[in-house]
Structure 1
Amino acid sequence: MEAMATDTSAQSQDAPATHKAKLPAWVKLTKAAPKGMDCHHWEQWQSYLATRENVAPLQTLVSGKKTSPLAWALFADEVLESRTIPLLETLGEVASGRTKPTSKLAAEMEAWLGSLDRRIAERNLVLELLACAHALPQLAAVLDAALWWQILDKLMSHAIDATSTNFEKKIFEQGLAGELPLTLAYQFPELKACRELGKPAAQVLDEGMQSLTDGEGLLKVDQLLHLRALLACWTRSQAMIRATPGLKLSADAYTQYQWMVRQLLRLTRADGTQTLASGFSGVYNKHLYQTALAQGKDEEDDVIAHLTLPNGKGKASEWHLPYPSYESAWGQFAYLRTDWHRTSPRLAVRHDLEPLIVELESREDVILSGAWETKITIDGVELSPNSNWEQVGWLADDDGDYLELEQEWTEGVRLQRLLFMAREDDFLWAMDSVLLSDPAQKIEYQSQPPFTPQTKIELADETNEAFLTLPKSKATLLPVGIHEWRTDSSLGKFGLVDEKLTLRQTGSGRALVAPLFFDLARKGQGKPLTWRQLTVAEKLVIQPRDRAVAYRVQTATGHWVFYRSLTEKASRTFLGVNLISEAIVARLDENGDIEKLLEVQSS
């Protein structure tokens, strides 16, 4: 008997018919695609995606193999779709291979695809697009051919449209015109159109790292809410770039990335959330930090991370670390901080807005957060600011951090705010100077620091100090420009006005100085303290308060003196010390000698 030949090819009439999918017009394989591969044959394409080994899941390139890197940080937005985070986590599980996709997920993806056009304004939609792109190879197991290619086509459409869009806020360009096309190039190197997106995407990211920062990794202050989301974008992107032959960031871009990692560490509260941020954009994710540190490859940052992050147990004694403080005139932001330890006192100042935005944190508690309201009235006429704040002084050294800002008000009045954070003495000196062009019969000043709801304020019965009690710490606030005893209100009052702690001071002439002393020391809180206004003389003549002022403050942990000149350069004396400076902050020792912590020279 003659043996019968058996046709085992895909063209055999006895074999199931191979499903030929209708593909987008742009689909074409690269020369590097497996020989014989045909995207039109859906089952073949499914099988290839399920078994290929040339594309590593994103989770294998970063920290946190069990979580989605797309959920590291979210962009600040007024609206957060309720399904965004669950979708990121679900697709992350699928993309990593830890969970197999289901028919239920397939139905969800179909509904998701149908919702995209009406959600285009959502800032965090880009994260869903990215999560879908990373999971799409695995989703081929449960999606039909038409839906799978529709999703990929939609992702391509978003990526290509973004490259030709002029973004008003360039930060969002980084995700849509940078990370999204880069992800498509990384996940689908077999498809020519996807692969060709890689180099332009890397260029967008490269340019963004250089143009969106101040040269040392800091964003404009009005974009700081997006710092973590943007760094997460750049961190994921850098991981993919390093894993993709032919792609590379420039040395300048990588340097800015490294600097931004330092800024990430700097602007981290004791609990891990972001300074000057609230809500989901400031949430702490250890895997973002771990991956960013690994990508940044900076030994100092590794030490700083152990000192400043939650659960850190580092010791700085073996390292000469840079100062933790920072100032950026370009970014309109300043950050005063005593040291890198997690519980150290620090003050963030955002001076692009009126009123000034500040955040004071100490010993794991946020004491101040928000707008520092100030009111000035001259001879019964209430004034208003007519310019933005301008930085006129900055210095960081071993003694502390000094920031001075100036703002123009109506009627030719200038308001200067001097802030000094003592590095070893753990106090904040905040001194406002109201400077007039013409003398006034009555200068009225009011200041309301933005205390947080968790700050319990207790006013002393007979004196003007305020005791601040927080969940994990205590602090004391002294209105040094008015008399210590409440019975003498000739210089001003200190108390609650409309449930806000308020300093009200009065004066006359050409100037008024209104200082506040924040005692942030861990020890000595609640123990006796005192302060006095000192006599200042010029050529043996006592000077009025609109020409020069000096103060003495003593707490359980130290003794200090402060001076401010309000005229042109002049030689004056207080406490037997002769000086010609504009401002002085000094430590007073037990012998009555002064050790200068800050000296601002007269111009």
Structure 2
Amino acid sequence: MPIDASNPPAFVGPLDAEAWEKLQTQLFTTSSKYSSDAVFTSEVFGFGATPEACYLFGLTVAAKTHDDDESEKTSETISSWQRQLSRLATHPSDAETTIEPLDADELIQRVAAFLKTTPVAKTDLSTALEAILWASAMVPLTRLLPQEIWWQLLSHLQQYRAEAALEAEPRSANYLLLAGELGITLAWRLPTLPSCGRIRQASLDAVSTFLEGEGDSIDRVLTRPQDLRLVVASLVRCERLFPIVSKRKFKKRYLEIAAEFATWMAALNRQDGSQVFTPTTGRDVKWDVKPPKSIQAGGKKHTKKRAKSSKNKLANNSVDLLGGLMRAASCFDVDTLVPAIAASLGQSHSGGRLAWEVSLPEAMWHAEEGKLVVMLPEWDVRRGRSFIDYSGEDMRVEIVGGRSSVFAGVHQTMVQVDGNAAHPKGPWEVTCEYSDDDVHMIEMEQPFTNGVVLQRQWMVVREDRCVMVSDAVLPAKPDGSAESKKAASDHVASEPIHAPELVCISRLPLAGEIEVVSDDEVREFVLTQRSKPRCKVLPLAASEWHVGPSDAKVSVSDDRHLVVETRGVGAIYSPIWMDFQPRRFGRPSTWRTLTIADNLQTVGREVAAGFRVQAGSEHWVIYRSLSGRKPRSFMGKHIVADFFAARFHPGDGGMEELVTVDESDVSK
């Protein structure tokens, strides 16, 4: 059966031996332009790492989660096989030697196992990437697989793409990888086959549709943050394949959306290069973050021409997969992503300059649909980072101080009302959000049974490197949201209202290797790692001294949680102040509960609460109303607000406002 390259027949296989051999020859011939190792390295997937790395980006993070004790072992097993298949795809001339030590029977078993997977639109991304790997290796596989199995594999891959195009949500990661990149890869690697050529345009359109989803696509992906790096890697490959397959490049807007995905990836970094909410690698990443000279900014002129292989090498030859992905993704927006990625890996810093001076992105990121919050004092990861995942009934949190995570895991809060346990009865909802050069702040609310709601505040005082996490238990309105009680003042005449006795137990999970050092005299804690202080913790609702009564007590549980138990009547406000500034660790700290007056009458903590925090010569003031916006005073300041935070200067008694929150606005 002759094969005409200009008008190829509709191969459906299997073919006779002569036709199959001719098809093999034609596939190698027509794809040779983009098959050689040199072209793969410099023009298609030239990331500065080995070519085969291009298909492995993100696999480790996708396979590892804190909830899966066997994930690390599983990841290594997958990685061993995926590496061999990726090398086969990127080194087709080595087809006969690449698969070793796997023999032919094991290869067939691998294919058979993949053929048993069901092509559904909601498959996990690791399986979706495996489909792309098989597609990218289809040409050399003609020499390694029996013809019948090869055709079955091709049919299965096409079925994956077709079903994803019909059923997957266009804003989902599965749509990008399966309806988009998988089809592009088949059209690129098997241009001789009409069945692959026909899906080329539809697959290109699928990638465009995903990117045109903009913020919706980003939010959708971030509902599973462990898949983010797989998505960024897919966008990198698609951006490089677009001009090869279609003779057109990513639009400017597509590059901007891809850059936002890459910025999220950098924002979710720890210093060792691992992603938050996954097990840490325990090592620093060695990566030269400077882009090739051909894409560096130079004065007012700026070009983004891709470097040839000889110019695309990193200074450190031991670049790992993370370095390759970060390097590749930085090309979406060199001016912004190169300094952001360098700072996120702890390899450069802004030197105290504002973000706009070094082209850094915003320092607070919030994906509302994904319910994921990132709060960075600065992009320099050594300054610490705070992460919140509020998609579940209990939040997942990770607070990084310098090189190490201090808190990491599920942050639980248990509430009792008149001795009866109250339980969550709805999702977390954001009620307030604010960010500027001084602070990041977000407040979330969750309805509970027994007529109460739980409000949680996170505030990062950026320059001071302090984090405050607070829980407030308040009466609920009929619709389940927080209700402001009437102030308990002598001049207010009202019928007696039952004020329930409340208990709020907050459990903050300690990260690995973190030890808690307590003080014999005061309720102050220092969190250490290998005997080095990482954070100082002040439970503001508790009395400072162990001697005497206290509304709160603090302990460390057997399952390694810092437990703060606070009691009150009617309403509770229990903030925890964390100081991550090393230069203050050796200085004495103290805190005091402030006296708050309303119309010349002192009010109780169920009405409003205030605290002054001191570390050496530095002071901060916190105020929170629990009973509506009424004029109140403390430390000589008169205020009408729901929340107020400031630096206090004892020399002149002045307060340098950080943030003020009222019912309708957040201001400075």
CA pair 86-212 structure 1, distance change in 2 beyond 3 A: farther
Percent sequence identity is 23
CA pair 480-97 structure 1, distance change in 2 beyond 3 A: same
Q: Superposition RMSD on alpha carbons, in Å?
A: 3.1
CA pair 161-392 structure 1, distance change in 2 beyond 3 A: closer
Q: Report the equivalent of 1:55.
A: 34
For 1:316 and 1:465, the matched residues in 2 are separated by: 30
Residue correspondences, number:
571
Contact 1:554 1:560 in 2 (8 A): yes
Q: Partner letter of residue 493 of structure 1?
A: K
Instruction: Return the offset for 1:98.
Output: 8.0
SS at match of 2:95: coil
For 2:152 and 2:264, the matched residues in 1 are separated by: 40
CA pair 92-391 structure 1, distance change in 2 beyond 3 A: same
Contact 1:59 1:68 in 2 (8 A): no
Q: Partner letter of residue 365 of structure 1?
A: S
Of residues 113-122 and 531-540 in structure 1, the stretch that sits farther from structure 2 once superposed is 113-122
For 2:549 and 2:512, the matched residues in 1 are separated by: 28
Once the two structures are superposed, what CA deviation does each residue of 1:120-150 show, in whole Å capped at 9, x if it has no partner? 4665233333223222323444555555444
Q: Report the equivalent of 1:136.
A: 138
Once the two structures are superposed, what CA deviation does each residue of 1:347-368 show, in whole Å capped at 9, x if it has no partner? 1112221112211111011111
Q: Partner letter of residue 506 of structure 1?
A: R
Contact 1:467 1:476 in 2 (8 A): yes
Q: Report the equivalent of 2:635.
A: 575
Is 2:181 the partner of 1:179?
Answer: yes
Q: Report the equivalent of 2:115.
A: 117
Instruction: Return the offset for 1:385.
Output: 1.7
Q: Report the equivalent of 2:483.
A: none
Q: Report the equivalent of 1:5.
A: none
For 1:99 and 1:108, the matched residues in 2 are separated by: 21
Is 2:373 the partner of 1:334?
Answer: yes
For 2:54 and 2:458, the matched residues in 1 are separated by: 39
For 1:571 and 1:67, the matched residues in 2 are separated by: 66
Instruction: Return the offset for 1:177.
Output: 2.1
CA pair 197-106 structure 1, distance change in 2 beyond 3 A: farther
Q: Give the 5 Å matches for 1:365-514.
A: 365-436=404-475, 439-471=498-530, 473-499=533-559, 500-508=561-569, 510-514=570-574
Of residues 93-102 and 199-208 in structure 1, the stretch that sits farther from structure 2 once superposed is 93-102
Instruction: Return the offset for 1:517.
Output: 0.3
SS at match of 1:285: helix
Q: Partner letter of residue 341 of structure 1?
A: D
Q: Report the equivalent of 2:192.
A: 190
Q: TM-score, normalised by structure 1?
A: 0.86
Contact 2:125 2:227 in 1 (8 A): no
Contact 1:525 1:556 in 2 (8 A): no
Aligned counterpart for 1:300 among listed residues 336, 340, 350: 336
Contact 1:274 1:284 in 2 (8 A): no
Is 2:53 the partner of 1:68?
Answer: yes
Instruction: Return the offset for 1:424.
Output: 0.5
For 1:458 and 1:279, the matched residues in 2 are separated by: 23
Instruction: Return the offset for 1:42.
Output: 3.5
Q: Report the equivalent of 1:204.
A: 206
Contact 1:202 1:249 in 2 (8 A): no
SS at match of 1:502: strand
CA pair 581-139 structure 1, distance change in 2 beyond 3 A: same
SS at match of 1:222: coil
For 2:533 and 2:216, the matched residues in 1 are separated by: 35
Contact 2:554 2:562 in 1 (8 A): yes
CA pair 180-256 structure 1, distance change in 2 beyond 3 A: same
Contact 2:523 2:545 in 1 (8 A): yes
Contact 1:572 1:578 in 2 (8 A): yes
Once the two structures are superposed, what CA deviation does each residue of 1:19-70 show, in whole Å capped at 9, x if it has no partner? x69xxxxx9955499xxxx996344333344444433465541212343311
For 1:195 and 1:316, the matched residues in 2 are separated by: 53
Q: Report the equivalent of 2:87.
A: 93
Is 2:382 the partner of 1:343?
Answer: yes
Instruction: Return the offset for 1:84.
Output: 3.2
CA pair 470-99 structure 1, distance change in 2 beyond 3 A: farther
SS at match of 1:94: helix
SS at match of 1:68: helix
Is 2:346 the partner of 1:286?
Answer: no
CA pair 313-45 structure 1, distance change in 2 beyond 3 A: farther
Contact 1:436 1:511 in 2 (8 A): yes
Q: Partner letter of residue 299 of structure 1?
A: D
Structure that is richer in helix per residue:
2
Structure 2 segments unaligned to the other structure (5+ residues): 10-14, 286-319, 477-496
CA pair 150-566 structure 1, distance change in 2 beyond 3 A: closer
SS at match of 1:463: coil
Instruction: Return the offset for 1:470.
Output: 2.0
SS at match of 1:185: helix
Q: Give the 5 Å matches for 1:506-525.
A: 506-508=567-569, 510-525=570-585
CA pair 600-191 structure 1, distance change in 2 beyond 3 A: same
Once the two structures are superposed, what CA deviation does each residue of 1:349-397 show, in whole Å capped at 9, x if it has no partner? 1222111221111101111122211112122122112221110111110
CA pair 162-332 structure 1, distance change in 2 beyond 3 A: closer
Aligned counterpart for 1:560 among listed residues 620, 629, 645: 620
For 1:59 and 1:279, the matched residues in 2 are separated by: 30
Of residues 417-426 and 566-575 in structure 1, the stretch that sits farther from structure 2 once superposed is 566-575
Contact 2:255 2:333 in 1 (8 A): no
Once the two structures are superposed, what CA deviation does each residue of 1:475-496 show, in whole Å capped at 9, x if it has no partner? 1111111100112233121123
Once the two structures are superposed, what CA deviation does each residue of 1:481-521 show, in whole Å capped at 9, x if it has no partner? 1100112233121123445321111122x321111101111
For 1:380 and 1:150, the matched residues in 2 are separated by: 64
CA pair 553-535 structure 1, distance change in 2 beyond 3 A: same
Q: Give the 5 Å matches for 1:4-15.
A: none
For 1:561 and 1:279, the matched residues in 2 are separated by: 35
Q: Report the equivalent of 2:270.
A: 269
CA pair 158-221 structure 1, distance change in 2 beyond 3 A: closer
Q: TM-score, normalised by structure 2?
A: 0.78
Instruction: Return the offset for 1:421.
Output: 0.1
Contact 1:334 1:348 in 2 (8 A): yes
CA pair 304-423 structure 1, distance change in 2 beyond 3 A: same
SS at match of 2:181: helix
Pair member with larger Rg: 1
Q: Partner letter of residue 543 of structure 1?
A: V
Q: Report the equivalent of 2:485.
A: none
CA pair 490-85 structure 1, distance change in 2 beyond 3 A: closer
For 1:413 and 1:142, the matched residues in 2 are separated by: 65
For 1:275 and 1:401, the matched residues in 2 are separated by: 19
Q: Partner letter of residue 451 of structure 1?
A: L
Contact 2:336 2:359 in 1 (8 A): no
